[in-house]
Structure 1
Amino acid sequence: MLTVAEAQQKLAGLYGRRFDRWAVDGAPATAADIPLRPPTETTALREPQRVSSWIAEWGEVHQKLVSGSAVVWETRRWPNAGTNTMATRLVLQRPEDLAAFIRQGAHWSASCRRAQQLREVVEKHAAEAGAEAEPVRDALRRSLKDIVALPQPHYERLLDVVDWLIRHPESDVFPRQLPVRGVDTKWLESHRKIVGTLVSSLTGDASLGLRPLPARLRIRVLDPALAPGGLRDISAPVAELVRWETRPRCAVVVENLQTLLGLPDMPGVIGIHNPGSTGAPLLAELGWLRGVGLIYWGDLDVEGLRILSRVRSRFPQTRSVLTDRDTLESHLDLTVPDHERASRTMPEHLTPEERELFLALEEHGRVRLEQERIPWDRALAALHDAVTP
């Protein structure tokens, strides 16, 4: 016998899977039709009180249902238990009936209201642009759960932001400059997923037409003679560093920021912090790096070798330090397990020694050795040897 509570739990799952489609695309012919598994004669004879309570419980539900929805009853004639009328099915015609049954009436009303309002905003622009409406509906379906969860003030801001961004697809402004009351950088960061899904469904631009923060690099000038205006520690947009008229003899690129800050003075040398997997394209914009010696020191793991490969693909003159089997095996006690999802495919632009390290990482149980765990005196000695003319 399916109790009312069990039916509510079952239909809550159905509602959670379907409400977004119903709210965006319209109601189905029947929202729900489920069997109630009425008791058998044996159960009626063995547990008469339980069966009687079950019948009464579904009778109360039946009385509360509106026209079109109902508990379906059938008469059962049993040889030893007489004639009894049993609830056999629950039919909920409209989504609002289902929502009311599972105590989600307010949620359903908000879903319909907000889906309709956002459709009007976005599809109006779609019609003006001659764009298809289906991507807009799909975006709404995918986002509606998060949209309905927004407090009303945030939802109202969402409406205004979506409308403004669609009307200004190439605004080229920072999020701070959006002319929508109550919207700032933090608000957009917190709601970027919803805003991006809705706006890009029409514009096709995941950037929302906003201006990105400029990519920056951190540089330490290790030779005072090369320091512009005496500046030794520089963090600047790559677009500006491109125009820097400097002529270092050598550049040391490291993955760890504290390693960069700890580097000592070296004649004719600058240090550069490589910000992980995104660093190689940024370094490649610095044309003045192509004519200098480039020393790379990164973590001893498969991702570190992959980053090194990306840098060398753009700077063939790149030489690595402390990136070999001997360094790994002399510090095995300082290794830790590598990330489970780390790719095990050999990178393309590696030297024989680096390829041997890649194999050794696998042989020793897929480990990784972070560069900062290597003793500082050994690291400095290797770097000095590498940058010495």
Structure 2
Amino acid sequence: MITSQQIEAKASRLFGKVVKEWLQGRLASFFPYRLPANLTLPPDHARAIVDVERLRDASKESLGHGYRVVWQTRRSRTHGLNRFPDAIMIDTMDDLVQLAKCEEPWQRLQAAVATLRRRQPLLNHWLTTSTHWKSLLECADVLDDLLSIVDYFVAHPRPDCFARELPVPVSTKLIEGHRRRLATWLDIVLPSHAIDLRYGYDAFEPRYGLRYARPHYLLRVLDVELQQELGLPFAELSLPADSLSKLAVREVGIIIVENKVSLLSLPRMNRSLALGGLGNGVTQLSAIEWLKQNHVYYWGDLDAEGYAILDRLRQLLPATQSLLMCQPTVDQFSHLATPGNAVAAKILDNLTDQEQRCYQHLCANNTRIEQEHLPMQTVVEQLNLKTL
């Protein structure tokens, strides 16, 4: 027969479902709730009496709250004429909350929901979708401050200042700690012209019109004549993407390199330049227009992360060719392999069939060959084959 501890566990699992009903205004039709329960008594008469008494002692009948036992009087061959438990009922939300031991989060959630609905009614649809109430509960302690930030953006779309300069009396670090949550809310409450959809949630500042310290990209010009053609006093420089985009780069081979050391090791090459040390920053290269007008090659680590970067780069530049990212390279330099990060293979739609097979192999074997370990002579030979 079910125990009071098992009833509490069932109530705890039920809590989230009931919260969603409450948010939708359907709580009145939910209670009383019949809890699925095994109420079969054990055949041993003494044990049955003990089990029934324990069930009664922990019930609403004895404690004044919690679950209610529905009794039925019937005669049993084994136990004679007695009152037997026939059903377990939870009558109210308060009963459920106490059974689930969720009194404190329930109180905080009620206050947070009331605050959100009062200050930003447009967010109510978000609140009642999926399990977003859990996200609200996570930020309940700073909710008023977060909504003050939202209010400011509504009143001053695209404010053109740094996040820490917003004239809102909240911690200057609050946006940094809640970017994704704020972005979700701002997408709902702001007019479309206040959101630059070219940028994703990971680029919070440009998406919502804030100033920010733009990332710099390391550029190496691998050809002296090309350097003169571009009017550059230095063969190596670091600039933001929009500044690099102003260079008149034409009929050039461009090598995008994952790691900075490999970039710095590249030798001189005819009409070639290299961008490197980017890692996942390749997603922000869309501002460099001449990448779309020249031959682009990507050379990264032979591991799950390297192929994921290649996949993201091809979303921006579909014609990108990979260098040394194939099974023959893995086989030739297997003695240089080290354990990877145990990343499970994902669906990467922008890899070639050959790259896909190599990617799956590396993930399955948790293998990594870092590009810095490859002999530069092999790299140069491969680059010559690509006729940069």
Q: Could you say whether these structures have the same fold, taking a TM-score greater than 0.5 normalized by the shorter chain as the test?
A: yes
2:17 is the counterpart of 1:17: yes
Counterpart of 1:341? 345
Give the match for residue 50 of structure 2.
Answer: 50
Note the alpha carbon deviations across 1:291-334, whole angstroms, 9 max, x for none.
7x76654456765775786687457xx7x654677545432444
Q: 2: CA distance between counterparts of 1:82 and 1:142?
A: 48
Distance (Å, rounded) in 2 between the aligned partners of 1:192 and 1:289: 30
Q: What is the aligned partner in structure 2 of residue 121 from structure 1?
A: 119
Aligned AA (1:27): L
CA contact (8 A) 1:295 1:387 kept: no
Residues 34 and 89 in structure 2, CA contact (< 8 A), matched pair in contact too: yes
Q: CA RMSD in A?
A: 4.5
Post-superposition offset of 1:8: 0.8
Unaligned segments of structure 1, at least 5 residues: 127-132, 349-354
Corresponding residue number in structure 2 for 1:258: 261
TM-score, length of structure 1 as denominator length:
0.71
The match for 2:75 is 77
AA in 1 matched with 2:208 = G
Choose 299-308 or 13-22, whichever is displaced more: 299-308
* Equivalent position SS for 1:244: coil
Question: Which range moves more in the overlay, 90-99 or 223-232?
Answer: 223-232
Q: Which amino acid aligns with 1:71?
A: V
The alpha-carbon deviation at position 256 of structure 1 amounts to: 2.4
Aligned to 1:373: 373
**Post-superposition offset of 1:9:** 0.8
- Quote the Cα distance in structure 1 between the aligned partners of 2:308 and 2:290: 25
CA distance in 2, matches of 1:143, 1:120: 17
Q: Which amino acid aligns with 2:177?
A: S
Instruction: Name the CA distance, whole Å, in 1 between partners of 2:55 and 2:324.
Output: 78
Please say if residues 256 and 298 of structure 1, whose CA atoms lie closer than 8 Å, have aligned partners that are also in contact: yes
Matched letter for residue 247 of structure 2: W
Q: Does 1:197 align with 2:196?
A: no
- Paired residues in the alignment total 364
Q: Hey, what's the Cα distance between the residues in 2 that align with 1:357 and 1:274? A: 22
User: Which of 125, 141, 144 is the equivalent residue of 1:156?
Assistant: 144
Note if contact 1:75-1:85 (Cα within 8 Å) is conserved in structure 2: yes
| Amino acid of the structure 1 residue aligned with 2:135 | D
| CA distance in structure 1 between the aligned counterparts of 2:47 and 2:283, rounded to whole angstroms | 74
8 Å CA contact 1:253, 1:273 repeated in 2: yes
Amino acid at match of 2:152: W
Q: Cα gap change, 1:249/1:333 in structure 2, threshold over 3 Å: closer, same or farther? A: same
- Cα distance in structure 2, aligned partners of 1:308 and 1:107: 43
The 8 Å contact of residues 217 and 235 in structure 1, kept in 2 or not, is answered as: yes
- The alpha carbon displacement at 1:345 in A equals 6.3
Deviation at 1:14, TM superposition (A): 0.3
Residue of structure 2 in register with 1:351 after alignment: none
Q: Which residue of 2 aligns with 1:352?
A: none
AA partner of residue 254 (structure 1): V
Deviation at 1:257, TM superposition (A): 2.1
Give how far 1:219 is off: 0.9
Deviations along 1:94-152, one digit per CA (max 9) or x if unpaired, are: 212210233222222222221121012221xx4xxxxxx7634435x632113223462
Query: Aligned-pair distance for 1:69?
Result: 7.7
- The farther-off stretch of 231-240 and 170-179 is 170-179
Quickly say closer, same or farther: Cα 1:32–1:39, change in 2 above 3 A.
same
2:319 matched to 1:330? no
Larger Rg: 1
Q: Which runs of 5+ in 2 are unaligned?
A: 196-200
The 3 A distance-change label for structure 1 pair 31 and 239 is: farther
Give the partner amino acid of 1:62.
E
Q: Aligned partners of 1:101, 1:359: CA distance in 2, in Å?
A: 52
The 1:306–1:115 alpha-carbon spacing in structure 2 relative to 1, beyond 3 Å, is closer
Task: Quote the Cα distance in structure 2 between the aligned partners of 1:148 and 1:361.
Answer: 39
Change (3 A) 1:219 1:155: same
**2:98 corresponds to:** 100
Once the 2 structures are TM-superposed, how far is the Cα of residue 13 of structure 1 from its aligned partner?
Answer: 0.3
The alignment partner of 2:87 has SS state of: strand
Aligned-pair identity in percent equals: 21
Secondary structure in structure 2 of the residue aligned to 1:101? helix
Residues 163 and 136 of structure 1, relative CA distance in 2, 3 Å threshold: farther
CA distance in 2 between partners of 1:358 and 1:85 (Å) = 67
The one of 241, 249, 271 equivalent to 2:244 is: 241
Alpha-carbon separation, structure 2, partners of 1:310 and 1:48: 66
1:305–1:358: 8 Å Cα contact kept in structure 2?
no
Q: CA 1:77/1:313 → structure 2, altered by over 3 Å: closer, same or farther?
A: closer
Range moving further from structure 2, 337-346 or 111-120: 337-346
- Residue 136 of structure 2 corresponds to 147
SS at match of 2:150: helix
The equivalences for 1:128-143 within 5 A come to 135-139=125-129, 142-143=131-132
Once residues 243 and 178 of structure 1 are traced to their aligned partners in structure 2, the CA distance between those partners, rounded to angstroms, is 31
Within 5 Å, which residues of 2 pair with 1:219-298? 219-222=219-222, 226=227, 230-244=233-247, 251-264=254-267, 269-273=272-276, 275=278, 279=282, 282=285, 285-287=288-290, 290=293, 296-298=298-300
Say which SS state the counterpart of residue 243 (structure 1) adopts: coil
Question: CA separation in 1, counterparts of 2:283 and 2:112?
Answer: 44
**Partners in 2 of 1:210 and 1:261 — Cα distance?**
35
